[in-house]
Amino acid sequence: MGMAATLQQTFDAAKHIVFLTGAGVSTPSGIPDYRSKNGLYTGHRNAEYYLSHTCLAQEPETFYDYVKQNLYYPQAQPNVIHTKQAALTQQGRATVITQNIDNLYRLAKTQHLIEFHGNLYRVYCQVCGQEVAWQDYLQSPYHESDGGWLRPDVVLYEEGLNQVNVQRAVAAMQTADLVVIVGTSMRVYPFAGLLDYRAPQAQVVAINQESLNLGIDYQMIQTDATSFFETLTV
């Protein structure tokens, strides 16, 4: 039996799959991975500053210009990785825990979704807390009703994670019988630390173009994730 058939059996047998996903899931949809060699960090020495709480607080115009120009891709559509994972969540067999903030999992109608770092397309006023359409935010960074600065509901550098998301993610990991890492190097903490909460019996599979060094027992599938999910039957 070939590896593809064996992996298909592994997916078919799993009752509680957790997908741990990152930027490599969205690059086929045309959203650049800003940590990769060709991503936003190249040529932007202070990219982490632009995406920091300090920049938002002290230079809100600079923050707004950077985010608007570099992070929003409203024309992007989910690809086969999103849709196959979403289908498994709709069957009640999977949870997706993603580092991505691009809204594509929501567009794919993913159930049991944990957006670990938030979502660019949820925008709220920092003065009154009211949610505002992202389309309005891309037109103006001010809240029309009170003049407050708007911001996307994402976790910036220097900010803490949403603790409800953390608790949900840990609970999902503790009940998973199959953990599938897709499109992420698993180097960013605390996201990478979720592996420490996996159930002892959980099988771990990584589908990634670069080989990973996880320090645990896992199966590495070094391939293009799009190709893998195109052949996976769900």
Q: Which residues are catalytic?
A: 117
DSSP tag of 131:
E
Burial class of residue 22 in the structure, from the number of CB atoms within 10 Å of its CB (0-12 exposed, 13-18 middle, 19+ buried):
buried
Q: Kindly report the length of the chain.
A: 234
Strand-strand pairing, 150-154 and 118-125: antiparallel
Q: Which pair of structure tokens corresponds to residue 202?
A: 């959980």
Burial class of residue 35 in the structure, from the number of CB atoms within 10 Å of its CB (0-12 exposed, 13-18 middle, 19+ buried):
middle
**How many angstroms separate the CA atoms of 48 and 155, rounded?**
12
**How many angstroms separate the CA atoms of 120 and 153, rounded?**
6
Strand-strand pairing, 113-115 and 118-125: unpaired
For the chain, list the strands marked E by DSSP. Answer: 17-21, 94-98, 113-115, 118-125, 131-132, 150-154, 178-182, 203-208, 219-222
